[in-house]
A and B are shown apart, each in its own frame.
Chain A
Amino acid sequence: VTATTRRGALAAAGAAALAVRAGDAAARASNGDRAVLGRLIVVERSAAVAYEQAAGAPSLSSRERAVARDFGAQEREHVAVLGRALEGIGGRPPSGDPAPADVRVGAKALAEVRERADVLGFLLGFELETVRLYYEAHQRLGRGALLRTTGAIMGNEGQHLAVLRQALGRDPIPTAFETGR
């Protein structure tokens, strides 16, 4: 083995090691992105169930129930788009909705709230949690291409927040940086 070929062999080994490390990093990023998207889909499914339940709440006005129906349909659109994105990176979207009793904000389930302000307050709390998860997702997702989709969805969840705050007589936009906190 000549010096030249030894150098070549060392360089090749180094390149192979770098490639393996790059492959490991890509695999970790893929696994991380799949986990983030899977979590977002579970939350979106829960949000859809929450709005669909609220659409039947007797304490809400007919106009508020219609808005809840519309927002529930928008959450379903998010589930569909995120599911396609997850499949696009080799993941399998979680299927099946949670039972309404399992959709909770803190210790409280939507099925346990009756009064108008409590129903709207529950939805507001759920949206705040959802926006917080999207905010954190933007810090964790490795694939930049996913961020256009998650950014557009996070913006829409913020719009739901503004509508719910207005319905509760609160400032619809209390901060210039909506993080869900």
Chain B
Amino acid sequence: VSSAASSPASPGACSICRYLIVASVIAGTSWLGAARTAAGALALAVHLENRAIAAYLDALPRLTSPDLRGTAASMLTSDAEHLVVLRRELGEDPVPSAFAGGAG
């Protein structure tokens, strides 16, 4: 990741990464009150993972560095995998859509 972030062919990449981090923190703090129960905490986690996936899908077309695109896609995929575990814990279908984030 560090080598990708330092790539000279990725102008704006750092600001996009900062946006992803800040968006995750803001989403988390605004939902903390809902996480008082196990189901609430799991639902919060599902919400955060979906937000993160949506942010990665928005960021991918704006990233110019091939290495950063690959890294972002691998992180998006890991977040999509988290959803499988979380949905199972909630008793839901773990893979309800053919497209992570609902994009087609």
Using CB atoms and an 8 Å cutoff, list the residues of chain A in contact with chain B: 70-71, 73-75, 77-78, 81, 131, 134-136, 138-141, 144-145, 147-163, 166, 172-173, 175-179
Contact = CB atoms under 8 A, between A and B. Distances in A.
Contacts of B100: 151-156, 158-159
10 contacts: A78-B98, A147-B61, A152-B57, A152-B100, A152-B104, A158-B78, A158-B80, A159-B95, A166-B84, A177-B74
Chain B contact residues (Cβ within 8 angstroms of A): what range? 35 or more
B76 interface: yes
B66 A178 contact: no
Nearest to A75: B98
Given A148-B60, A154-B77, 4 more contacts: A78-B98, A135-B70, A139-B67, A177-B75
Contacts of B67: 139
B104 A162 contact: no
Interface of B: 1, 53, 56-58, 60-63, 66-67, 69-85, 88, 94-95, 97-104
A161 B94 CA distance: 12
Determine the main DSSP class of A at the interface with B. helix
Contacts of B83: 159
B60 A144 contact: yes
Contacts of B82: 173
Contacts of B79: 155
Contacts of B56: 151
Contact of A145 (B61, B75, B84): B61
Contacts of A147: 60-61, 69, 73
Contacts of B97: 74, 156
B74 A135 contact: yes
Contacts of A152: 57, 99-104
Interface centre among A70, A138, A157 (most CB of B within 10 A): A138
